[in-house]
Chain A
């Protein structure tokens, strides 16, 4: 498990050729993000995901404000969890929804 995790981590940085997401996909991603990610990773008080990332020195800590995320990273964390973040199943966030989240969270990345 630990090995697979490291392999996957190293892949984040190798594979990153984001196709330009279309606007509809970004909007869908925003909706899915609001439902599934915002309660933990959003802005405002009581967002343990945001707080935890901040404590670990991540700046900005709010996922929506970041420009350094890539799709495979997002997919990995959603499907594998990390620390106290649990895994999310395909019945919760489908692969298509996950692609949309990725499109949303990478919308401001430098092209």
Chain B
């Protein structure tokens, strides 16, 4: 039997017995076969001893069982690693950061408690997936849309707590939440926002409640186990349209992004937008650079002038950007017209108009629709992964300016060059506005069941984190394997923010049982070892 660190086998078997009593025998998993199911399917530590593997897993069915499970863990000081649906692939999946932790698997808590299509919200438990909620809404004929991240099997709660993003106007998932129920390390249940008012009628309608607004501390945190969460939904729009603007020259990106900022911050363009480069992604450039990822500017590669010339020859725009418009057809047409008018100030700007959809759509047509933009969950994204055996994401936030994109191309190009790694192996997602007012760059590292390759990938990953930090860019989220690395670069004033996190951690979870190490926050006893 695997045993959590610092726990005696006797204590552990006592705890297991109590969990079995509280949750039922079949919901406490201890066999290697069962526990292996909680490993990270995309672990960058395959076949290495340092892969953090859980000692067991417990799966409560309701909040009372969560309370019981947490109290038992607190009594025996056993580390629990909480997962909702455990589908956080690319960022650690269901595996704990600290090997030997017991996975607290909330998948069985999959009740959809309410969906309201007058005030447009849902209240769900952690085990509810995007697929579940989507099906429920379809079955009930409710006139609301959800917002989905790329893989639709994840949990609304899990993804929002990881501060994930989607594609519709409600794409900032944490921002779209309203009200939480949380089990604290001592087993107390707290409701936040208006939920603190007994019999409240506005738990899912007003976020803040009275006094300090605490919800944020449970995101990317290990201060409690969230057992219910409210989400704001989008009323089903009557229409949808997309349109693409393209510009010819390298430097046109600056006014392009400036205009995009204006349009997005004015609410004229809603939802995620992505900067693309038909030129850099083209076969012509790929052959000129000997491959290489489109987004990074490799030292010694073709100059901007040379690239622009290829663009002219091949009639390929240097940059483009697809925008989405949600609303009644008349309004979205007017918004698209305004967008064109604004971009037309960039000489040579051209436009491609996408189809205008009249909504609601017929469920039979689902496969013909832009699913992500319509809040329809799918697993299409996994088609991108090619021959790799998984991936992990490097995902820094950079300013939403053309200049910052240029700098990122240079900096990451140089970093790859310095590390002697051809960027060709990486999956790059161009700068995207998953969150308002900034860009995220996504760089997918392939994972293999090959120790050497993975070691090298981890080194490169750390190199990129460092290069980014030197330029004032930090990751919005990271794989469990790099949580300490990323936490380390958020070091303003001798890690003042992390010290603050630790102060709260010690106060609300003095035995340090909840998800030790999550986002670099370790309990007192384990802090030094990871400093």
A contacting B, Cβ–Cβ less than 8 Å: no
Listed in ascending order, the chain A residues whose CB lies under 8 Å from chain B are: none
